[in-house]
Chains A and B, each alone.
Chain A
Amino acid sequence: MSNMHVTAKVNGDEVEFLCDPRETLLDVLRDRLNLTGTKEGCGTGDCGACTVTIDDRLVCSCLMLGVEASGKSVGTIEGMAEGDILHPLQKKFVEHAALQCGICTPGILVAAKNLLEKNPDPNEEEIRYWLAGNLCRCTGYDKIIRAVQDAAKEMREAS
């Protein structure tokens, strides 16, 4: 089958792309829209590195076809900072050294931001369960959890 024409919103902007119906949303984001912040880890929905939001719900972009994004609102890591101003989560990840190689980081940030939008004051257990689908082989997770807690605190105080 020939390429299909898809219209969607990505980080608030209207985008159009052509893609083969077999292409995953992850492939579309990286190879057609040049949004390479979203990473491919396992490609089978186990590691969470490719996490994005679809209509404000977390999904693995490797487990969704590009054509399925038609009419949807996609949120990626590129939509997180405002210009040069980092999101509080991004800032706290740097401060707490909550990343090393960085492959899992975009997915974890997107997932953590989604959690804090639903629950501004999650406890440690809630954060760990929410992020259970985001694997990190470098940090041992503790720094990630502390960074999310610290960012949540800062965001609560700011609001």
Chain B
Amino acid sequence: MNYHTPSSFSDASAIAASAKGKTRFLAGGTDVLVQMRSDIITPDDLIDIKQIQGVKDITKNKDGSWTLGIAVTGAEMSEHAEFKKAWPGLVEATDLIGSTQIQGRATIVGNLCNGSPAADSVPAQIAAGATVSIIGPTGERIMAVEDIPTGPSKTSLVHGELISAINVPARGENAGDAYLRFIPRTEMDIAVVGCGVSLRLDNGTITEARVALGAVAPKVLLVDECSKALIGTKLDETALKKLRQAAENACNPINDKRGTIEFRTEVAGVLAVRTAKKAYNRAQGK
């Protein structure tokens, strides 16, 4: 195995693009090293992208938007008071991943690129309307987070491409986000269902809504029908009923030891309602 430590994303991309064998990028390593150890993957080239300048930075841009470096860990996000205040849902989703030790290494870009339908931070990233900057052999492009996963362990990134930053919009006024998941225990488990919601209000009426569901389909879903159920309402009982139905309708889950199809579908509806209420309260400053 060749271990590379490029000093720029274009170098990292060039190494990956010219590699003949299996390639992996290494940031936090909490997925890659497990896969290497269990012989799921034996990379010929491992490209450590943590020595590229700026990858550990959380930057607030002039317009109020945020740029997160690809090596920013969960712990660093939780400790950043201003970012946490702006996007508490994204931070709480990330904080649910693994133990204190995992939080010291794991990154949300890795969480996204691992392609798990149950990745906790991904529904929150999608609800937030985050995008990723991508560098590859043909140049740079920006994609919405929801367009990155294409199925379990699969992404739309092509050979030689890698994510160079994650862009989170400005939070703005009268807005809030939240993430809730169901697991059968209290800590350290994989989501049976996860739900991220971001809302904006105008005098109590919802004007913008994004609802994302995890672990109920081959990839994390952005559910437009859920947004439609919420926009123009004050989150009254009728809106919540429609939201619940839309969330259930969007589900296409698997049966496994964590939960049956019926269970996951019902929980998705329940969580959508609870998460929307939490985001709504935050948008009202409660």
Contact = CB atoms under 8 A, between A and B. Distances in A.
A58 interface: yes
B34 A63 contact: yes
A133 B75 contact: no
Given A44-B38, A129-B187, A65 B100 contact: no
B118 interface: no
A98 B271 CA distance: 39
A43 B37 contact: yes
A131 B50 CA distance: 27
Given A64-B33, A68-B48, A132-B187, A45 B101 contact: yes
B102 A60 contact: yes
Interface residues of B, number: 25
Contact of A44 (B34, B46, B188): B34
A133 B105 contact: no
A22 to B, nearest CB: 5
A129 B26 CA distance: 27
Interface in A64-97: 64-65, 67-68
B1 A132 contact: no
Binding site secondary structure of chain A? mixed
A48 interface: yes
B99 A132 contact: yes
A45 B3 contact: no
A45 B34 contact: yes
Contacts of B30: 45, 63
Contact of A65 (B2, B33, B34): B33
A68 B71 CA distance: 13
B232 interface: no
A130 B188 CA distance: 11
A107 B188 CA distance: 17
B222 to A, nearest CB: 30
A107 to B, nearest CB: 9
Interface of B: 1-3, 26, 29-30, 33-34, 36-38, 46, 48, 50, 73, 75, 98-102, 104-105, 187-188
Interface of A: 1, 4, 21-22, 24, 43-45, 48, 51, 54, 57-60, 62-65, 67-68, 111, 129-134
Given A44-B38, A45-B98, 13 more contacts: A1-B1, A4-B3, A22-B1, A24-B37, A43-B37, A45-B101, A58-B104, A65-B33, A68-B50, A132-B100, A133-B99, A133-B102, A133-B188
